[in-house]
Amino acid sequence: MNKALRIGGRRLALLVLGLLLTLCLSTNVLRAQGIWRGNIIPQEIANSRGLVRQWTNQIQIDSGKDRLSSIIIDRGVIFTVTQNGAVQATNAETGVTLWTSTIHAKGKYVQGLAASRYYVGFTCGSVLYIMNRANGRVLLDQEMPSIAANSLVLGEERAYVPAINGVVYIFDLQPMEDPFKEFGISESILSSQDRRDRKEEFIQSLRLMKKYQEPLSIRSIGDLKVAPIVTRCGPRREFVAWPTASSLVTLCQVNISGDSLVDEKYNVPILGECKGALGYLPPAPAQGKNPFKPGVLFAQSTEGFVYAVEETTGKILWRFLAGEDVWDTPVCVEEDLFVATVVSGMFCVDARTGGDGNSTEAKWWSPGIRKFISASKNRVYALDKKGDLVVLDRVSGQRITSLPVNDFAFKMTNQQTDRIYLATETGLLQCLREIAVEDPVDYTANWIAARDEIDDEEQFGTIAKDEDEKSEDDESEDDTLDGDDSDDEFAEEDEFAEEDEEGLSEEDDFGEDDGEGVFEEFGSDEEEEADDENADAEDEDFDF
């Protein structure tokens, strides 16, 4: 009897042990595969983390032969490209597919994806493809002098491609002239609705000028291991910056009016290698008693530092010590800078001072964080070392909750809004948002203004010009007393001085005499339509 009980007890113990082992294995499998089926996050799971699944969308892809290659967000639209060259545009708030297009890569390596106000572009082998952002029609497929080393970047009127030979190639994206202007027909005879219709028609049928010449180029001091960034886009010039393997931060000015020229403005040395793209804080225009604040470039280092470089002068404003390698790009949201280290965690620092606003100490530090994803007004979303989506309090950095997202190969960094975008290799897209935040929190106002609206002649040149004038006044006080017009001399010598507007209006084929560009001229007559109060708002808010 006792023997039978002992045998039965052993069998029961083994059975219980087996059940526990099976449960543990099942839990690990579920964690590795996600706690949902079909890679779609259930609403109840999202709701338990304070989130809502806003939408899902499956991009057009041959799942048996193709995989998603790159995904970006730009001004309310998500753009994706596959390894075989299938491009798709999706509304970032509704998940509705806007258009699809395929260029047939034919086994060539599709690399990078970039978007600007009117264009979408990527490289495939040694070929540059530029597409119409409005409908996906290919506008340019140009052979490059060398194979691209990293992702290209688009300004408003130029494309910048870093090549394996250490050269940044600059391609002109000048559109064909408006037919109405070509035939000498004035828009003043049209109604506001007719002008809006013409603007949409022109953008839908946009074509680029074909120029049979080599693109502009500038050689980098050191290898180009990461993609450049475009910081400012004005009616006369664009600015592009990148780090090099020679521990330098380089900024170049590209003149886009008259004779196209490229000028290297400065090379700022840093300690260690910068393995990620530069971060950027757009300039803040002067408002009331608040003075103009120039843009700031952020460079991370394998020596454990983050550098803040003033865009206008190349001056190092501050240096933050993270204590270990920083590989990922520092991400700036409003004036919070998020710095994720390789091992320990993520810092939040003041982007203007490099500390908490009052000292050199960070605002907060959260352990185990590897990558910034997005931020709302009260929360920060990031990835930890296990690949889970972690929710942090934006003020303190304290962990609130987490969500497994291991099934998603693409967890996109979004510094333009508060939305969270996830995608699988087979092209399943999902958008998550906070339950209470129905309308997206938009952080792009200053960024878009820097690229589209702020006059770089008035804003970008202000600080550099004032400093030059001050130093010149100190050195040549006698000349000033003699009546020399020193301001004219400074205007000639100042590398950021304004160009001759008369020469610009004669040489600029892109727009009218104001140099604003052909796209802007469509909205220029709204001021004459004083009786139509809605014309201005609808034209300025025109989006694709």
Residue 369 has pLDDT above 90, yes or no: yes
227 vs 213, more confident: 227
Residue 509 is classified by DSSP as -
Average pLDDT, the chain: 79
The 10s digit of each residue's pLDDT in 422-467 is: 999 999 999 999 999 999 999 988 778 776 544 444 444 443 444 4
Tell me which residue of 82, 75, 112, 80 sits closest to 99, measured CA to CA: 80
| Cα–Cα–Cα angle for 417, 440, 55, rounded to 5 degrees | 95
The answer, yes or no, to whether residue 55 has pLDDT greater than 90, is: yes
Q: What is the pLDDT of residues 503-534, one digit of tens each?
A: 433 344 433 334 343 344 334 444 444 444 44
Residue 531's nearest CA partner among 187, 186, 193 is 193
* 114 strand-pairing partners: 121
- Three-state DSSP class for residue 487: helix
Q: How would you classify the pairing of strands 364-367 and 345-350? A: antiparallel
pLDDT for res 490? 35
Q: CA 282 to CA 230: how far, in whole Å?
A: 11
Over residues 64-72, the mean pLDDT reads 93
Residue pointed to by tokens 């497994």: 404
Percentage above 90 pLDDT, the chain = 52
Measured CA distances, 11 to 20, 131, 206 (Å): 14, 69, 77
According to the 3-state scheme, what is the secondary structure of 288-344?
CCECCECCEEEEECCCCEEEEEECCCCCEEEEEECCCCCCCCCEEECCEEEEECCCC
Q: Measuring CA to CA, which residue among 315, 234, 322, 333 is closest to residue 279?
A: 333
253-309 pLDDT, tens digit per residue, is: 999 876 678 889 999 999 999 999 999 999 888 888 888 889 999 999 999 999 999
Q: For 376-405, what is each residue's pLDDT tens digit? A: 999 999 999 999 999 999 999 999 999 999
The pLDDT value given to residue 509: 40
Q: Between 33 and 73, name the one with better pLDDT.
A: 73
Q: What is the mean pLDDT of residues 323-343?
A: 94
330-336 mean pLDDT: 95
Q: What is the rounded distance in angstroms from the CA atom of residue 391 to the CA atom of residue 397?
A: 9
**Beta strand 305-310 pairing with 158-162:** unpaired
Of 384, 425, 431, 377, nearest to 403 (Cα)? 384
> For residue 26, what pLDDT is reported?
45
Higher pLDDT, 487 or 362: 362
CB 67 within 8 A of CB 409: no
Model confidence band, residue 129 (pLDDT cutoffs 50, 70, 90): very high
pLDDT value at residue 543: 43
Residue 112 has pLDDT above 60, yes or no: yes
pLDDT digits 0-9 by tens, 318-328: 999 998 999 99
The whole-angstrom separation of Cα 262 and Cα 256 is 9
Quick one: pLDDT band at residue 22, thresholds 50, 70, 90? low
Most confident of 192-206, 284-298, 482-496: 284-298
Is the pTM higher than 0.85? The answer reads no
pLDDT at position 511 is 38
Amino acid identity at 310: E
Of 121, 162, 157, 161, the C-alpha closest to 139 is 121
Q: Give pLDDT, residue 400.
A: 97
Comparing 313 with 290, which gets the higher pLDDT? 313
Quote the percentage of the chain above a pLDDT of 70: 71
Q: Which 8-state DSSP code applies to residue 222? A: S
**In the predicted model, is pLDDT for residue 539 greater than 80?**
no
